[in-house]
Amino acid sequence: MKTAGNMLLSKVNGVPFLQLSSFREQPWLHHAFATRQGGISSGIYATMNLGFGRGDTDANVLENYRRFCAVAGFCVEDLVATAQTHKTEVLRVGQKDRGAGILRSKPWHDIDALITNEPHVALCVYGADCVPLMLADPVHHAIGVAHAGWRGTAANMAGTVVAAMQQAFGTNPIDLLVGIGPSIGPCCFEVDEPVVKAFLANPLLFPQDCMTEKGGGKWNIDLWEANAQLLRSAGVQKIEKGMLCTHCHPDLLWSHRATNGKRGGMCGILCITEALS
């Protein structure tokens, strides 16, 4: 097994996938992040495109899911996906929702985070520079995933999904494990003043630790640290940063910026494998 950033990189039957060490250590969990390799798509989607609605054929995308799930240990029938629109809405899903967004159309809109405490309900989170968050409560056997681009980060998506798990499952933030998956790093996420203003408007963020002025009206923002700050403000202490920049690894990962938006999509999946006894 190799490493990429702080993440573990495995390859089975020509299909690579990434994992976080702290989540691998949880026997009641299964998780993986796809890369852009190992699928059947071609052209700008080559080869592991897991994004429906981007111009690739649905048949290609579904076959890519089947190949990724086969090597990463998931059942396609268990997957639950939603359309992410850079909001902060959280949805609790369960057994009845398995297959939604993958094998049948998405019944929800404007949902950027999913939570559940039911086994074999595999939550999907997408990103191609945006931050994918995975959350796991080992006490109550509850999980969540969240999509936090710069808009979602500035609007405290991280804290919002923690609060949703507290309300739904009685989660104590101190118990939570949170993983920050592949996404654009502080090395490459250059922004201008409107984005900076959105971050400065959030009182939970410490600009000196997540923003660097470059001059000429440009800044670099560390989305990993910004989300970690928001999680710590919500009471979370166990945070693992994958430290894997999508923009720096265009051969392995999809990056919206590196491809000028001409790309496929990546998916991270998190699932409870056994019921709480």
Q: What CATH number is associated with residue 37?
A: 3.60.140.10
Residue 156 and residue 120: Cα distance in Å, rounded? 28
Number of domains in the chain: 1
The Cα–Cα gap between 85 and 183 comes to 17
In a domain, 277, yes or no: no
Question: Would 85 be classed as within a structural domain?
Answer: yes
Residue 41 lies in a domain: yes
Residue 239 within any structural domain of the chain: yes
What confidence category does residue 274 fall into, taking pLDDT thresholds of 50, 70 and 90? confident
Predicted confidence band of residue 106 (pLDDT cuts 50, 70, 90):
confident
- What domain range is 99 assigned to? 2-272
Could you tell me what percent of the chain has a pLDDT over 90?
A: 97
Predicted confidence (pLDDT) per residue in 122-161, tens digit: 999 999 999 999 999 999 999 999 999 999 999 999 999 9
In a domain, 39, yes or no: yes
Is 69 a domain residue?
yes
**Quick check: is 96 in a domain?**
yes
Mean predicted confidence (pLDDT) in 89-113: 96
String of DSSP letters for the chain: -EEETTEEEEEETTEEEEE-HHHHT-TTEEEEEE-S-SS---GGG-S----TTSSS-HHHHHHHHHHHHHHHT--GGGEE-----S---EEE--GGGTTBTTTB-----S--EEEE-STT-EEEEEESSSEEEEEEETTTTEEEEEEE-HHHHHTTHHHHHHHHHHHHH---GGG-EEEE-SB--TTT-EE-HHHHHHHHT-TT--HHHHEEEEETTEEEE-HHHHHHHHHHHTT--EEEE---BTTT-TTTS--TTTTTT----EEEEEEE-S---
